Homo-oligomer: A and B are copies of this chain.
Amino acid sequence: MTEARNPVKSVRTTARILRALKELDSAGVTELSERLGLTKGTVHNHLSTLEENEFVVRDGEKYRLGILFFEFGEQTKRAKKIYGVGVPEVEKLADRTDELASLLIEEHGRGIYLHRARGEQALTLDTRIGARVYLHNTGLGKAILAHLPRERTERILDRHGLPRTTENTIDSRDALFEELDRVRERGYAIDDEERATGIRCVAAPVTTSDGAVHGAVSVAGPTSRIKGDRLETAIPDLVQNAANVISINLTYS
Contact = CB atoms under 8 A, between A and B. Distances in A.
Interface in A39-95: 41, 44-46, 48-55, 57, 64-80
Interface string A17-39: 01000100110000000000000
Contacts of A73: 69-74, 130
Contact of A112 (B8, B45, B71, B114): B71
Contacts of A233: none
Given A10-B8, A67-B105, A69-B73, A52 B1 contact: yes
Given A11-B53, A53-B12, A108 B66 contact: yes
Nearest to A131: B71
A15 B56 CA distance: 12
Interface string A178-210: 000000000000000000000000000000000
Contact of A108 (B12, B25, B41, B57): B57
A3 interface: yes
Copies in the complex: 2
A253 interface: no
Contacts of A75: 22, 65, 69, 130
A60 B76 CA distance: 17
Nearest to A70: B73
A26 B75 CA distance: 12
Nearest to A25: B79
Interface of A: 1-8, 10-12, 14-15, 18, 22, 25-26, 41, 44-46, 48-55, 57, 64-80, 105, 107-108, 112, 114, 128-132
Given A1-B52, A66-B107, A70-B76, 6 more contacts: A15-B50, A25-B79, A67-B76, A67-B112, A74-B128, A78-B128
